[in-house]
Amino acid sequence: MKKKPINFVISGLGGQGILFMTKILARTALHKGFKVMGAETHGMAQRGGSVVSHLRLGDVKSSLVKAGAADFLLALEENEAYRNLPFLAEQSLLCSNKSSGNFPVPEVEGYLSNASIACHSIKAGSLAFELDAPMSTNLALLGYFSTLDRCPFTLQELRTTIEAMSPAAYKEINLKVFDKGARES
């Protein structure tokens, strides 16, 4: 019996750094010895539209996560979290940025608990904004995600990848935002 793959869906809006976030996760996984397949959105949808990327760790042939088969949904925006709920498997985990105090809305909360889907959220956007890095919501959310028990990577593993992948001018601020996200847990 082959080992079950780990499926990620990462969602948000064009310009929020979905691709960078996916790359960080992918590289960390590669370092840990996983086989990795990813699928990205390019082109017209990048102009402010909904953007989704898929990441699959393990022995898989296709880069696409099947609806109902994601172990993790990382969302950079509330509505993009809701929109991609059908990807989540039962007993999976949702980790989302939120801007309101009303996340998730009651009907979604009910659904998540019925399907035993764990829901974790932080105000990653305002956190990044406070550090004067509004484009780094992705890193704040990743920092937070890294502290969750079910995250397949440790905080240090993700941090090392971010350090290696960030351009020199952004290294310090990127790590700062990531660390702040991690402290929110």
Partner 1 sequence: MNEDFLLGNGAIALGLLEAGCQVVTSYPGTPSSEILPEVVRLKKADNLKTYVEWSTNEKVALDNAFAAAITGKRTACCMKQVGLNVAADSLMSAAYLGTVGGMVIISCDDPGPHSSQTEQDTRLMARLAKVPVLDPATPQEAREMAGIAFDISETFGIPVILRPAIRVCHARQNMKWSALTDHPAKALFKKDPMRWAATPKFRFRLHQELNRKLKNISRHFDSLQPFNGHNLEPGKHYPLGVISGGVPYAVIQDILSDAGRDDIPLLKLGAPYPLPQNLADEFVAACDKVLVIEETDTVIEYLLRDRSKVLGRLSEDVPLEGELVPERIEHIISQVLSRMRLLPLNIQAARDVEDLVAGLDLPIRRPTLCPGCSHRSAFYTIRKTRPKAIFTSDIGCYTLGLNLGAVDTCLDMGAGITMASGLYHAHAQDEVQQPIVATIGDSTFYHSGTAGLLSAVYNDARFVLVVLDNLTTAMTGMQPTPGLGIRADGSQGKTIPLERVIKGCGIDFLEVLDPYDIKGMRQTLKQAFDYTKKPDGGIAVIIARHPCIIAYREQAVANRIKVTISDDCIACNHCIERFECPALYHDPVREKTGIDQALCIGCGVCLDVCPKGAIIEMNIK
**The pair of three-digit structure tokens given for residue 144, joined into one six-digit string:** 């937070």
Cα 71 to Cα 56: distance, rounded to the nearest angstrom: 10
Instruction: List residues bridging with 144 in a β-sheet.
Output: none
**The pair of three-digit structure tokens given for residue 148, joined into one six-digit string:** 């969750």
- Minimum distance, C-beta of residue 75 to partner 1, in the bound complex (Å): 12
57 touches partner 1 (CB under 8 A): no
Q: What one-letter code names the amino acid at 182?
A: A
Binder of partner 1 out of 32, 105, 154, 163 (CB under 8 A) = 105
Sign of CA dihedral 125, 126, 130, 134: positive
> What x-and-dash track marks residues 65-104 binding partner 1 by CB under 8 A?
xxxxx---------x--xx-xx---x--------------
- Minimum distance, C-beta of residue 50 to partner 1, in the bound complex (Å): 5
18 touches partner 1 (CB under 8 A): no
10 touches partner 1 (CB under 8 A): no
Residue among 116, 145, 140 nearest 129 (CA)? 140
The residue among 46 and 147 lying less far from partner 1, judged by its C-beta, is 46
Whether the Cβ atoms of residue 75 and residue 17 lie closer than 8 Å to each other: no
Distance of CA 89 to the CA centre of its chain: 16
Binder of partner 1 out of 6, 99, 115, 175 (CB under 8 A) = 115
φ, ψ for residue 93, nearest 5 deg: -135, 130
Which residues 166-185 are close enough to bind partner 1 by CB under 8 A? none
Question: What are the residues binding partner 1 (CB under 8 A)?
Answer: 2, 13-14, 23, 26-27, 30, 35-50, 60-69, 79, 82-83, 85-86, 90, 105, 107-108, 111, 115, 129, 134
